[in-house]
Chain A
Amino acid sequence: MAAPTDPTVTGPAVVVTLPGVLRRLFPGSVRRVELRAATVAEAIDDLDARWPGMRDRICDSTPAIRRHMNVFVDGERAALDAPLREGSAVVVLTAVSGG
């Protein structure tokens, strides 16, 4: 598990889980990431700081979570502006897609 890298960042402490197919694109990335973030967008900002480019894989330039990606917060599908609370479980998943 990766721990928060910047102790000055405030916000609820949450755990983000990344899918294997995303981790394969970013050597060194891990399945479970502990970080502090007040929204899904902030959590993705943190991921992008750790593994540059990861935001572009989860979000498009609208900006929005990509059509075939899903982010769940405590079991509920969430948008970028969804708030996080202390202990939230943020799960990034690929949706059913492809051919």
Chain B
Amino acid sequence: MSTRVLLLIGTKKGAFIFESDDARHRWSMRGPYCETWPINHVAGDPATGTIWAGGGNEWFGPAVWRTDDLGASWSHSSDGLAYAAGEEPIKAVWSLAPAPRPGAPLYAGVQPAGLFRSDDAGSTWRHVSGLRDHPTRPDWQPGGGGLILHSLVRHPEDERQLWVAISTAGVFHSADGGETWEPRNRGTRADFLPEGQNYPEFGQCVHCLAMAPGMPDRLYQQNHCGMYRSDDGGRQWHSIEAGLPSSFGFPAAVHPRDPDTLYLLPLNGDTAGRTVPDGKAAVWRTRDGGKTWRDLRHGLPQGNVFFGVLRQAMATDRLDPAGVYFGSSSGSLYASADEGEGWTCIAEHLPTILSVETLVLDR
């Protein structure tokens, strides 16, 4: 049995797939796919090899694309992916969460923020209306990227539990499969609100939400205003930004096995250009749940670098040692096959990279 390692890349101009073996030294590229639509997120099911790509096209609107043959052929659907007549129409799909086990739904988060589920692998969709029925919804404000539901986190064992992150509404949790929701933002700052109102119940600008492996109660959150960890499913958040070069960044990627290891890509600040600090690219890693941080630069460009890395554009694979990957706003794709110690640029001059995910197949 051979191992195929795939990188699933969403860009402003279509989806791309990079492929290697378990050594992860040489990569081939195929694409662009999805008729060069803007593709915000690409995710795969390791059990079946099916890959979905979510996005939205200025002409044709939102859709989820699907391939069952690793990219050779694609179809698309937006059947049921709509709000009621008269509401602001859906502009794009922003996030996908494939079913962790057979029989579970595929979820999609969209803009303007809402949640949809598919029980037939993306052929048809149904609105999970409980989220938009939440009483706080009229006060949700769009962030710089729009009012987007960009992070979907599912409980590994309890199918009824899921967390979503919305810019700029914050983190919400459901314990009943999406019927009812509660904000889970206590302890996260909103520096953009007037003094004295900086810790609201909701309305924080969360950038990325991730769950630690094997510890469903441990969540990490890169926020517009700080870096946080929760050990109780998001009920209370604690700052873990001490030791980072900046409290601002977009992505956060967990290790496949170690709940204390996390990867970030801090940027220079929300009013400073949102590019890598000092024109030097670095991934930052903690091995102790955010108590201490270390920069990882070997192989990354260390001069005149002015790219950013967006909220969904960093990922790890499940191999040992773990691979770590990120894609830049300038269309460069970097890979590490040794948990971030050394890096290689495996593609340049792609369109703006919006998302990076991995899919490891044993076949």
Among A6-25, those with CB < 8 Å from B are 21-22, 24-25
Counting chain B CB atoms within 10 Å of each CB, the highest count among A52, A57, A97 belongs to: A57
A to B CB contacts below 8 Å, 5 in the list: A56-B78, A60-B61, A62-B85, A69-B60, A97-B58
Contact of A61 among B63, B79, B87 (CB under 8 A): B87
A-B contact number at CB 8 A: 50
Query: In the complex, are the beta carbons of A56 and B84 less than 8 A apart?
Result: no
Q: Are B59 and A21 in contact (CB under 8 A)?
A: yes
Measured CB to CB, the residues of B under 8 A from A are 35, 58-61, 63, 76-79, 81-87, 89-90
Are A61's CB and B85's CB within 8 A?
Answer: yes
Instruction: Indicate if the CB atoms of A56 and B35 lie closer than 8 Å.
Output: no
Question: Cβ of A53 and Cβ of B78 under 8 Å apart?
Answer: yes
Least Cβ distance of B304 to chain A in Å? 25
**A63 with B85: CB separation less than 8 A:** yes
User: Chain A: residues with CB nearer than 8 A to chain B?
Assistant: 21-22, 24-25, 52-53, 56-57, 60-63, 66-69, 94-95, 97-98
Residues of B within 8 A of A68 (CB): 58-59
Query: Given the known A-B contacts A24-B35, A25-B35, A25-B76, are A57 and B86 also in contact in the complex, defined by CB atoms under 8 Å?
Result: no
Question: Does A61 lie within 8 Å of B35, measured CB to CB?
Answer: no
Q: How far is the CA of A25 from the CA of B59 in the complex (A)?
A: 12
Are A62 and B59 interface neighbours, CB within 8 A? no
- Measured between beta carbons, the chain A residues less than 8 angstroms from B59 are 21, 57, 66, 68-69, 94-95, 97-98
Instruction: State in angstroms the CA–CA spacing of A94 and B60 once bound together.
Output: 9
Q: B79: which A residues are within 8 A, CB to CB?
A: 52-53, 56
Indicate if the CB atoms of B35 and A62 lie closer than 8 Å.
no
Residues from chain A with Cβ under 8 Å of B90 in the complex: 61
Least CB distance, B7 to chain A, in whole angstroms: 25
Which of A52, A62, A63, A66 has a CB less than 8 Å from the CB of B60? A66
How far, in Å, is A4 (CB) from chain B's closest CB? 24
How long is the Cα–Cα vector from A67 to B56 in the complex, in angstroms? 13
Contacts of B83 in A (CB 8 A): 61
In the assembled complex, the CB of B125 is this many whole angstroms from the nearest CB of chain A, namely 11
Q: For residue A94, which residues in chain B have a CB less than 8 angstroms away from its CB? A: 59
Question: Which residue in chain B gives the minimum CB-CB distance to A54?
Answer: B60
Least Cβ distance of A61 to chain B in Å? 4
Measured CB to CB, the closest approach of chain A to B317, in angstroms, equals 32
Once bound together, how far apart are the Cα atoms of A28 and B344, in whole Å? Answer: 43
Give chain A nearest CB distance to B55 CB in angstroms: 13
Known contacts A53-B79, A57-B59, A60-B82, then 9 further A-B pairs from the complex at CB < 8 Å, ordered by chain A residue: A21-B35, A24-B35, A25-B35, A57-B60, A61-B87, A61-B90, A62-B86, A66-B60, A68-B59
The distance from the CB of B85 to the nearest CB of chain A, in whole angstroms, is 6
- Contact, CB under 8 Å: B61 / A57: yes
> In the complex, what residue of chain A is closest to B89 when comparing beta carbons?
A60
Q: Is the CB of B60 within 8 A of A22?
A: yes
The minimal Cβ–Cβ distance linking A62 to chain B, given in whole angstroms, is 6
